[in-house]
């Protein structure tokens, strides 16, 4: 970046220097031409006055006229009566020359062009005489451009010196401009003293840093929770197995201990399966393609699978509504509905009810799961969809929950671009709505 700033500054200065030289050369050229024109006009007036006094014989005595100045006398028909350089060039009719025609029309005329006879850049000034002839005075103005070129070596030397100093200045300025960026702290970008134009960029970096930190914190918390959740059933399994291995269990209690080991192992398997499901949803590694899924029929299937579990707790599960077809991943939708209904059963009261409604509304297609359970306090509403978060840890342990069910629901909703709405009050039950686009 610093090198680019230096190169840009030197390039800008070089272009500015070149443009300055071109403009200066044009100014010098124009000033030289104006001076030559004024000089020619003055000489023409002198010669015209001398001819009035001495007649045409004065033209034969042109020794006083500079060699660089050419004097020509032309009759009204364009024929050359006299030319101070007639020995050097071949003269033709001048009736078509611009300065000659202007002099006949207005009394004087001027023109700048390359001479057809001597092939040089000439400045012409013509004046109409009293007898109708035209007196023309001309000068080679190639010297004007020559004067402009004569200053070129000095300009080149000056340009080299100025370019060297401009390079030093650009190097210092580039270092000064880049210094605040070099000192920028990417960990705390908004705490750095930088240019105002960089603030939006630094705000985006700060937002990304916060997002990364939040993800890192979530991963740490997730790892700690996973370790704790896996350790609990493994500890129980290890303890029961150790008692059985050391013959500390009565023969009549062996079946009970084996049952406990089986239950803890089942709990461990469910936990690992939920973690795998959540990881796949997190990483977007759901292999199934979306298809047309009838939510009403799928909900009835899930309710049938949970019927026996609900009946054990004296809970009645009811599915109502109408046929609703959406495009989605059937397995993920199945897991979402299963976890919502399973939670409604786990956290319900004895003899309670779970109602699932599927149908079309003015806001779109919806799935609503309601229960008459223990409810959720308002201060927990925002966190219940977090991994391993439990409102009542003691009740969760008794019910065998992994704490990942609602997280799976949340990630499944994101996958289907669905919205979740929660209504719940302690001891009054819970209602969770999922609105599909």
Alpha-carbon distances, residue 12 vs 9, 19, 163, 295 (angstroms)? 5, 11, 11, 68
User: Could you tell me how many helices (H) and strands (E) the chain has, helices first?
Assistant: 10, 12
CB 437 within 8 A of CB 364: yes
Mean pLDDT across the stretch 380-395? 66
Q: Are 403 and 387 in contact (CB under 8 A)?
A: yes
Model pTM score:
0.45
Q: What angle do CA 408, 412, 418 make, to 5 degrees?
A: 135
| Confidence (pLDDT) at 219 | 67
> How is residue 366 written in tokens?
């919806």
Q: In 3D, which of 184, 177, 179, 178 has the Cα closest to residue 201? A: 184
C-beta of residue 432 within 8 angstroms of C-beta of residue 371: no
In the predicted structure, residue 82 carries a pLDDT above the cut 80? yes
Give the pLDDT band (50/70/90) at residue 299: very high
- Interval 160-169: pLDDT, tens: 787 777 777 7
What does the DSSP 8-state code read for residue 191? G
| Weakest mean pLDDT among 64-78, 327-341, 407-421 | 64-78
Task: State the alpha helices, DSSP H only, in 55-121.
Answer: 98-106
Q: Which of 16, 2, 5 is nearest to 163 (CA)?
A: 16
CB 294 within 8 A of CB 359: no
Q: Is it the case that residue 399 has pLDDT exceeding 60?
A: no
Which structural domains are found in the chain, ordered by start? Answer: 2-149 (3.30.450.20), 184-285 (1.10.287.130), 291-436 (3.30.565.10)
């Amino acid at each position: 970046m610093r090198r680019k700033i230096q190169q840009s500054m030197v390039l800008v200065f070089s272009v500015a220097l070149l443009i300055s030289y071109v403009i200066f050369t044009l100014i010098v050229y124009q000033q030289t031409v104006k001076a030559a024109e004024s000089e020619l006009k003055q000489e023409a007036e002198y010669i015209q006055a001398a001819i009035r006094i001495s007649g045409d014989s004065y033209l034969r005595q042109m020794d006083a006229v500079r060699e660089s100045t050419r004097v020509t006398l032309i009759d009204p028909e364009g024929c050359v009566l006299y030319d101070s350089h007639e020995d050097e060039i071949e003269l033709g009719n001048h009736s078509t020359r611009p300065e000659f025609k202007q002099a006949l029309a207005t009394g004087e005329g001027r023109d700048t062009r390359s001479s057809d006879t001597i092939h040089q850049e000439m400045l012409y000034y013509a004046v109409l005489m009293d007898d109708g002839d035209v007196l023309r005075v001309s000068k080679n103005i190639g010297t004007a451009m020559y004067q402009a070129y004569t200053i070129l070596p000095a300009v080149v030397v000056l340009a080299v010196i100025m370019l060297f100093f401009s390079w030093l200045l650009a190097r210092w300025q580039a270092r000064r401009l880049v210094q605040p960026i070099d000192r920028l702290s990417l960990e705390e970008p908004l705490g750095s003293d930088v240019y105002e134009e960089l603030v939006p960029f630094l705000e985006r970096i700060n937002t990304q840093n916060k997002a990364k930190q939040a993800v890192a914190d979530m991963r740490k918390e997730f790892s700690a929770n996973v370790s704790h959740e896996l350790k609990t059933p493994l500890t129980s399994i290890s303890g029961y197995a150790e008692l059985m291995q050391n013959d500390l269990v009565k023969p009549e209690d062996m079946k009970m201990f084996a049952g406990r080991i089986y239950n803890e192992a089942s709990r461990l398997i469910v936990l690992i399966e939920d973690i795998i499901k959540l990881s796949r949803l997190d990483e977007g590694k759901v292999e199934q393609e979306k298809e047309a899924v009838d939510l009403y029929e799928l909900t009835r299937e899930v309710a049938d699978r949970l019927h026996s579990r609900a009946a054990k707790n004296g809970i009645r599960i009811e599915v109502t509504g109408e046929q609703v077809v959406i495009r989605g991943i059937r397995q993920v939708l199945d897991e979402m509905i299963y976890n919502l209904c399973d939670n409604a059963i786990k956290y319900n009261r004895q003899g309670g009810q779970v109602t699932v409604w599927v149908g079309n509304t003015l806001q779109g297609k919806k799935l609503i799961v309601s229960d008459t359970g223990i409810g959720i306090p308002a201060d927990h509403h925002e966190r219940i969809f977090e991994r391993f978060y439990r409102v009542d840890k003691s009740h969760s342990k008794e019910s065998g929950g992994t704490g990942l069910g609602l997280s799976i629901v949340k990630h499944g909703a994101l996958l289907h671009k669905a919205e979740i709405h929660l209504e719940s009050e302690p001891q009054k039950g819970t209602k969770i709505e999922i609105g599909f686009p």
